[in-house]
Amino acid sequence: MGWDELIGQGPAKRYLRSVLSVRRQAHAYLFKGPAGVGKRTAARIFAQTLLCQERGGGDAACGQCKSCRAFAAGAHPDLVPLRKFTETGGEVGDHEPVIRLDTVQFVCEQVHRSPMSGARRVVIIPESQRLCQGQAESANAFLKTLEEPPRSATIILTSSQPEGLLETIVSRLQAVQFRRLSAAEVRAGLALLASGTPASERELVEPLADGSLGRALELLDGSLSHWRAAVLAGLGRLTPLSALQFGLSLWALAEAEGQRLFAAEKKAGRVEVKQAADGSEEAEAAEGATKTEVGWRRYVFRRLLEVCEVCFRDGLVCAACGTGALPEVGQAVSLPFSSQTGQPAPQAGIVLLQPDQQALSQALARRFGSAGCEKVLAALREALFATKLYVRGDVVVRALAGKLVEAMVR
């Protein structure tokens, strides 16, 4: 891995490379910022460079030495893994909601051991706010290692929710800020990492990525075009009487797609055959341990809600611009869009995340107005938060339907 693989993040990249050049790195770092913007990639590049045996006084790994080859193969003896202590073993997955105490105890034991092939041991803890879930036993156990770190160890925490970490932990870390990527950077990242995907699909996910390359890649893995079409069709005929039906149709689609995606993963042998009833106490643990049918269902449901969020964001922009009478869906749009590019004309001062859905954005602006769009956006954020708390989807959409009706009846 090299620094060229980290898309954007110029300030963070320059800081980390300067630290490597002067060889005065801290014992522990916190890479913080939105999800999917390169924190994990930066952590791995930084770790590989620290472990490289041939870099001399440089700020990048050579990529050729024994250490770099072992790192690339995922078998470096001095890169401490997050081990999962279950019957099946393995490593802690990204979707696990909690990093358990026994995993932290293993990590702390490993970082205090002498390096096996070089002068340093490195551990990367992704989404480290998971240490502080529950009674925060894992965080308190980890704090002891941060208070008295071994000289030969470097600890790298990444977090998209740093406010979820204990202040006593944050105070002992050197923070490195990562920021949302620009549209151009997301586009460049997709061209590099998803070159085999048709350009039309890459263009579709760019406005939905919200500055997150990881989210854009995730969207490309799913049937985004199909999901988006279902949301657009439902919003196009939304009325106070059909709001509940619209919400329930989203959940029904999520259930069907979740079942299909899980079956595909199961057939490919990439998941454990482990299930938990939606809404049960085991659901959270099951989704965290592996992408179960429950996990896929919630994944699709969140994507559908996010598409709704983008639509209403564009509706709010149109409503706030005060262009006068707004046309019905299907009628000509009076906004000054360029006929050549389909993008908003510069003088308009209007930037839509979905420029191909101008008519729908106008219709939502007419139907809800600025205040109504703001209410719906707040309701969608609440719905997305509720899914993180493992609230049943049918309950979420019933509450959302009520907010939609309230926003429409003005």
CA distance 33 to 158: 8
pLDDT digits (tens, 9 = 90+) for 240-290: 999 999 999 999 999 998 888 888 877 766 554 444 445 443 444 334 334
What SS3 state is found at 58? Answer: coil
Give pLDDT tens digits for 100-110.
888 889 989 99
Identify the top-confidence range among 32-41, 127-136, 264-273, 334-343: 32-41
Q: What is the pTM of this model?
A: 0.69
pLDDT at 306: 86
> Which of 142, 177, 212 marks a domain boundary?
177
Query: Which sign does the torsion angle of CA 346, 351, 353, 356 carry?
Result: negative
Instruction: Tell me the torsion sign for CA atoms 338, 343, 347, 350.
Output: positive
Say which amino acid occupies 383: A
Residue 64 lies in a domain: yes
Query: Can you tell me the mean pLDDT for 48-70?
Result: 86
Domain presence at residue 186? no
Determine the structural domain holding residue 329 and report its residue range: 195-408
Domain count, the chain: 2
Contact call for residues 250 and 238 (beta carbons, < 8 A): no
Residue with tokens 């490993």: 110
CATH of the domain at 42: 3.40.50.300
Do 207 and 163 belong together in one domain? no
Q: Would you say residue 238 has pLDDT above 60?
A: yes
Would 185 be classed as within a structural domain? no
